[in-house]
């Protein structure tokens, strides 16, 4: 199956170069020149990966990323000319999966895109494999139900849209309920040893999870922060 890549970039020359190179690698490519149309196109096209420029006319890349992160699962690679924005981009504020600073090597970008898509595919396969296990069941914590058989989380009976990693993280925490787990342990078990994104990735995903499962995300009662150590799931 051909992976679909959506490029949101307002510089015509760069947009064209990206489209040319991605197409040559065998991807289906869609290009868009501004943030507002970028959000609409992402919702409409459901791409497998998003390449998103930070400086865009109208709605900028940070805002686009923030909006889409709430509703979409695909990996986002951000392009930026501003080195000082990087912490924000991959951190709590925005939550892109990876970034490249301009000017970048097209070859390096193609390698990143390939790696990101491969990682996403592996996660999906692992989750699909979970579904066929006969021992899976459904567990309820108050108004929250983790249905492992259907690979679904419901809150007040309404299914929640979750990124694969959010689901894995929630499942891991719920299985250790009542026990404090460190960020390092979470990284190791949910992301794997070879992941080089750092423990802030855990905090970002915890924040997203809380927004979905907590009645008051600002005062969480399900996923509790244990200062200086990590997190504890309260069942």
**How many residues form the binding site for Ca ion (CB under 5 A)?**
3
Q: How far is the CB of 77 from Ca ion (least distance, A)?
A: 14
With CA atoms as reference, report the closest residue to 117 among 171, 88, 77, 148: 77
Which of 19, 55, 117, 130 binds Ca ion (CB under 5 A)? It is 55
In the bound state with Ca ion, the residue whose beta carbon lies nearer, of 10 and 214, is 10
Q: Is 85 in the site for Ca ion (CB under 5 A)?
A: no
Burial environment of residue 183 by CB neighbours within 10 A (0 to 12, 13 to 18, 19 or more): middle
Q: What are the strands, taking DSSP E only, across the chain?
A: 4-8, 28-32, 49-53, 76-80, 98-101, 138-141, 144-147, 152-155, 158-159, 180-182, 223-226, 230-233
Q: Please, what is the angle between helix 106-131 and helix 12-24, to 10°? A: 60
Q: By CB under 5 A, which span of 4-12, 43-51, 109-117, 145-153 interacts with Ca ion?
A: 4-12
Q: Which residue minimizes CB distance to Ca ion?
A: 55
Which of 3, 53, 120, 148 binds Ca ion (CB under 5 A)? It is 53
Which of 4, 10, 117, 212 binds Ca ion (CB under 5 A)? It is 10
Q: How far is the CB of 10 from Ca ion (least distance, A)?
A: 5
In the bound state with Ca ion, the residue whose beta carbon lies nearer, of 11 and 234, is 11
In the bound state with Ca ion, the residue whose beta carbon lies nearer, of 14 and 174, is 14
DSSP 3-state helix, strand, coil percentages of the chain (rounded to 5)? 45, 20, 35
List contacts with Ca ion (CB under 5 A): 10, 53, 55
């Amino acid at each position: 199956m051909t992976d679909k890549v959506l490029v949101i970039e307002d510089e015509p020359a760069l947009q064209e170069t990206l489209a040319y190179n991605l197409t040559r690698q065998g991807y289906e490519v869609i290009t868009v020149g501004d943030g507002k149309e970028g959000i609409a196109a992402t919702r409409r096209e459901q791409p497998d990966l998003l390449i998103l420029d930070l400086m865009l006319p109208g709605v900028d890349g940070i805002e686009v990323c923030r909006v889409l992160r709430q509703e979409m699962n695909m990996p986002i690679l951000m392009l930026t000319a501003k080195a000082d924005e990087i912490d924000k981009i991959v951190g709590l504020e925005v939550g892109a999966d990876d970034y490249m600073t301009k000017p970048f090597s097209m070859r390096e970008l193609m390698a990143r895109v390939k790696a990101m898509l491969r990682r996403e595919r592996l996660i999906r396969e692992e989750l699909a494999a979970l579904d066929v296990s006969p021992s899976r069941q459904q567990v309820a914590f108050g108004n929250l139900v983790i249905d492992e058989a259907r690979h679904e989380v419901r809150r007040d009976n309404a299914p929640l849209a979750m990124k694969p990693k959010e689901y894995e993280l929630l499942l891991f925490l719920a299985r250790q309920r009542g026990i404090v787990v460190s960020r390092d342990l979470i990284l190791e078990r949910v992301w794997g040893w070879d992941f080089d994104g750092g423990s802030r990735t855990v905090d970002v995903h915890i924040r997203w999870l809380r927004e979905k499962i907590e009645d008051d995300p600002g005062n969480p009662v399900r996923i509790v922060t244990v200062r200086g150590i990590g997190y504890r799931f309260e069942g």
